[in-house]
Amino acid sequence: MAKAAARVDQSNIWWVFLLEGIAAVIFGGLLLTDPAATLLALAVFLGFYLLFVGVLELVRVFVDRSQPWIWSLVVGILGILAGIIVLNHPVLTAVALPTTVVIYLGVVSLVMGVAGIIGGFSGGGIGSFILGIISLLIGVLLLGSPVTTAFAVPFVFGILLLIEGVALIVFAFRVKG
């Protein structure tokens, strides 16, 4: 009975899934066809978002007593500064964000690789050892040239967004009917 109620709720909001799917397909297409302009637009959006959130945090200093005011002040000032920096250097931000993702994934892969190798030697079996070696190699590849590797990030996310968008559109029509 609960499963039927959940399905009825989803069928009432099928259009939300449809809109999410359409947005994902559009954004994925933009990342694949013009990744530089899309990343630049994202950087500008991020700058305005940080600026907006920073201002709201400063307002929170005066109106919200549920938390110490100092945290809202610090977050507000940092948000405004970060927003100004991003808006003054959107191209640098557009390059730095994917590069940061690549560096993060490279470090995580190295840690997972070492953990997998150690796990393989301490009773985890050959599968753990092999996956550890693969993770270690991926980490080395990602960290070997993070800026160059970062150029692939928009294409990977574009493909993932296209797949997600199509899946959401199909799902929307399935729950509608």
Q: Are 97 and 146 in contact (CB under 8 A)?
A: no
The rounded distance, in Å, linking the Cα atoms of 77 and 154 is 30
Instruction: Note the pLDDT tens digit of each residue in 91-104.
Output: 999 888 889 989 99
The rounded distance, in Å, linking the Cα atoms of 28 and 165 is 8
The rounded distance, in Å, linking the Cα atoms of 2 and 27 is 35
* Helix intervals (H) in 120-152: 126-144, 146-150
3-state secondary structure of 151: coil
pLDDT of residue 75: 94
Report the domain count for the chain: 1
pTM of the entire structure?
0.67
DSSP state of 152: T
Domain span including residue 8: 2-176
Instruction: Note the pLDDT tens digit of each residue in 48-72.
Output: 999 999 999 999 999 988 888 999 9
